[in-house]
Amino acid sequence: MKQIRVRFAPSPTGYLHIGGLRTALYDYLFARSTGGKFILRIEDTDRNRLVEDAAEKLISALQRMGIDIDEGPGIGGDYGPYVQSERLEIYRHEAQRLLDSGYAYHCFCSAERLNQMREQQQQRGEFVKYDRHCLSLSEDEVKEKLARGEQHVIRLKMPDERVFAFTDLIRGDLEMDASQSDDQVIIKSDGFPTYHLAAVVDDHFMEISHVIRGEEWLSSTPKHIWLNECLGWHSPIWVHLPLILNQDRSKLSKRMNDVSVDSYLEKGYFKEAILNFIALLGWHSADDQEIYSLEELCKYFSLERVNKAGAVFDLTKLDWMNGVYMRSLTLEDVLKRALPYFVAQGFSLEVNATSLKMIEIARERCTLLPELVDYCKIFLSRAALTAEMKAALATEESRKVLAYFLKLFDTPEEDFVNLILTDLPKAAMQELGIKGKLFYTPLRLALIRQEHGPDLPSIWEILGKDESVSRIREALELQV
Ligand code: GLU
């Protein structure tokens, strides 16, 4: 069997979006699970949409997610160049072959004429498609126009009557009537190929075995099959992935912040969770397991288990998954990944027992990395006490509780460490004869400025002796 070779072929928008990552991931998983090759090709033939460094940005985004590319721009491979704007000669040569064999023709129609033609077709209720005005030009007329340097495009002559039958690995046997297909432009007036010609030519010369792409390209497949036939080539195996949908089942939003992978990373989602979540946008395993590492995905993924139906982008599920990773990665790992978010808010933490303990408590209650910072603020800074808090701290019971601990904590550091390991709250409640809310509220308010939160020994451990004492003293010294 031929080697499996798949390609991710993004247009250079400069950022990786959710849909692109899903295609790249499925390409990658399919390649890895079959011993095949995963290729990156940059489809930059639309000169109006060029973005500088697009290839570098995409490669680094994929690498950040852990997806390694076998062949591509800047990476190398035997089938390059992997950027379409560097392959123009190849497309021109193939377009010439199509012209020579009569499958393609020059079209000199102006934009005005084409607009007028379309309007008239619309008024008559007809299909809007090129009326083949230039197909009737004689060879000499074409030569003359070309010699005069008249602006032109090259069009592919689509068959008049043709139902294209083909198999899609996910959708099964399909038939698509192409009788009403437009004579597709394959070389534009700027001399660049359109996507259709370039993709078919590259897929052939790069020996792509499976074309894995979004469902939005399904309607172009008859054109691509026809192009392959005209050029005398076999078509690759077609694999069209289901659409990704918003919650209301509309097509996934195009707003960059909603779909750019980087923006999810910035929001504090783990790359493992994003990848895991994206893997399940259209695929699931036989046993419906939900949490997968990339290695596991490489092992279990199969195109046969990809659905036809649109996959809903459910942010609640991504949040849930992120929470799972938040609680299952090692504490040190979570802390290290959270550090930049702490720094951004002016807290410089070190990786030590205290900060790890803080993360251990915080991660039970947080979904995203920045939420850890918000949670840990109770330890890292002292919020101002509100009038209500001050009043609660000023009661006779509160002052008794606070004074008790101020005295108790007046010990050397070593004793403090041992002391908080004992069941201090129970012993204190017994001795003071103050229980429940009356006991806990003043301590929590003094120590963390809120009535609810972690258990007292954890608070003491994280704050340490000096800070605990200082916060209790501050509360006791309040002038109400
Ligand atoms: N350049 C196309 C895109 O931006 C690729 C389509 C394909 O994979 O054939 O989606």
237, pLDDT greater than 90: yes
Residue nearest atom 10 in ligand 1 by C-alpha distance: 10
Q: Please check whether residues 227 and 175 belong to one and the same domain.
A: yes
* 53 φ/ψ sector (left φ>0, alpha ψ -120 to 50, else beta): left
Closest CA to 224 of 193, 192, 198, 190: 198
Output the domain CATH number for residue 338.
1.10.8
pLDDT of residue 21: 97
Q: What is the pLDDT of residue 480?
A: 62
Cα distance from N-terminal residue to C-terminal residue, the chain: 84
Residue ending a domain, among 217, 241, 265, is 241
Q: Are residues 438 and 358 in the same domain?
A: no
The CATH number that applies at residue 468 is 1.10.10.350
Same domain, 97 and 134: yes
Domain residue limits at 405: 387-476
pLDDT of residue 247: 85
CATH code for the domain in which residue 143 is found: 3.40.50.620
pLDDT, residue 178, reads: 87
Name residue 286's amino acid: A
Mean pLDDT of the chain: 94
Q: Are residues 435 and 470 in the same domain?
A: yes
Residue 283 confidence (pLDDT) = 96
Same domain, 94 and 206: yes
170 lies in some domain = yes
56 located within any domain: no
Going by alpha carbons, the residue nearest to atom 3 of ligand 1 is 10
Domain end (from 222, 241, 260): 241
The residue assigned the tokens 């899903």 is 22
Pair (215, 108) in one structural domain: yes
Q: How far is the CA of 8 from the centre of ligand 1 (A)?
A: 8
Q: Which of 205, 223, 241 is the last residue of a domain?
A: 241
How many independent structural domains does the chain possess?
A: 3
Residues 236 and 359 in one domain: no
Arithmetic mean of pLDDT, 8-28? 93
User: Do both 231 and 156 map to the same domain?
Assistant: yes
Is residue 282 a part of any domain in this protein?
no
- Residue 480's CB is within 10 A of a number of other CB atoms, namely 8
Model pLDDT, residue 218: 96
| Residues 262 and 61 sit within 8 Å (Cβ to Cβ) | yes
Whole-angstrom Cα distance, residue 103 to residue 156? Answer: 6
Residue 223 falls in the annotated catalytic set: no
Question: Is residue 237 domain-shared with residue 349, that is, in the same domain?
Answer: no
In a domain, 447, yes or no: yes
Quick one: which atom of ligand 1 is closest to the CA of 199? 9
230 and 335 housed in the same domain: no
| Per-residue model confidence (pLDDT) at position 1 | 66
Q: Could you tell me the distance, in angstroms and rounded to a whole number, from the CA of residue 11 to the centre of ligand 1?
A: 7
Q: Does 265 reside within a domain?
A: no
Where does residue 418 rank: exposed (0-12), middle (13-18), buried (19+ CB within 10 A)? exposed
Q: Please report the DSSP string for 37-76 in residue order.
A: EEEE-B----GGG--TTHHHHHHHHHHHTT---SBBTTTB
Position 251 in a domain = no
- The model's pLDDT over 341-376, given as tens digits with 9 standing for 90+, comes to 999 999 999 999 999 999 999 999 999 999 999 999
What is the 339 CA–ligand 1 centroid distance (Å)? 37
Strand 172-177, strand 163-168: pairing: antiparallel
* Gap from CA of 283 to ligand 1 centroid (Å): 20
Q: Which atom of ligand 1 is nearest to the CA of 23?
A: 8
Q: What is the per-residue pLDDT for 55?
A: 83
**Segment 401-424 mean pLDDT:** 94
Residue 412 lies in a domain: yes
Same domain, 202 and 336: no
Query: What's the pTM value of the predicted model, to 2 decimals?
Result: 0.91
Q: Spot the catalytic one: 2, 145, 188, 254.
A: 254
412-423 per-position pLDDT tens digit: 989 999 999 999
Is the pLDDT score of 49 beyond 90? Answer: no
- Residue 164 is classified by DSSP as E
Q: From CA 383, how far away is CA 374, in angstroms rounded?
A: 12
pLDDT score recorded for residue 244: 94
The string of pLDDT tens digits covering residues 288-334 is 899 999 999 999 999 999 999 999 999 999 999 999 999 999 999 99
Are 98 and 162 in the same domain? yes
Which residues form ligand 1's pocket by a CB distance below 6 Å? Answer: 9-11, 43, 195, 199, 213, 217
Asked if residue 262 is part of any domain, the answer here is no
